[in-house]
């Protein structure tokens, strides 16, 4: 990680981009063809939320693990554990680097994770950025 000047404006831009991408991803129908895209995009939206936290603190991440770890530190009540986001990271990694094809059930589960976690995490990230 590199340290830079905290940039709340960029952090909010990243958060807003994440929200736009999640809205699009939620609109995709689950199918054999869309599965990998839904998993990748969903994971990327959560990673961007973690990145926005880091950027707001003046930290530039050099990998995908730091932004996800940043999300794990959040103390918020959610219907499902936040650490499920790390499972998304692993699933995306298998898709991208090993040609794994997620099952329709896995894709449905990814959408369910996003539905239960994304808004609550996004709202907490925004609150922390604005502090």
Buried b (16+ CB within 10 A) or exposed e, 7-23: beeebbebbeebbeebe
Is the pLDDT at 2 greater than 90, yes or no? no
Contact 77, 32 (CB under 8 A): no
Which residues are 108's β-sheet partners?
A: none
Contact 107, 39 (CB under 8 A): yes
Tell me the domain boundaries of the chain: 2-130
Is the pLDDT at 21 greater than 90, yes or no? yes
CATH 1.10.3470 fits 2-130, yes or no: no
In tens, the pLDDT along 60-113 reads 888 889 999 999 999 999 999 999 999 999 999 999 999 999 999 999 999 999
């Amino acid at each position: 990680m590199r340290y830079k000047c905290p940039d709340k404006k960029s952090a909010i831009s990243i958060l807003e981009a994440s929200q736009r991408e999640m809205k699009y991803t939620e609109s995709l129908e689950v199918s054999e063809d869309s599965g990998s895209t839904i998993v990748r995009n969903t994971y990327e939206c959560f990673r961007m939320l973690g990145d926005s936290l880091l950027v707001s603190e003046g930290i530039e991440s050099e990998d995908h693990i730091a932004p996800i770890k940043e999300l794990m530190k959040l103390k918020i009540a959610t219907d499902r554990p936040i650490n499920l986001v790390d499972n998304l990271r692993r699933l995306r990694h298998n898709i991208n680097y090993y040609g794994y094809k997620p099952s329709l059930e896995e894709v449905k589960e990814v959408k369910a994770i996003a539905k239960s976690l994304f808004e609550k995490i996004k709202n907490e990230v925004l609150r922390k950025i604005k502090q």
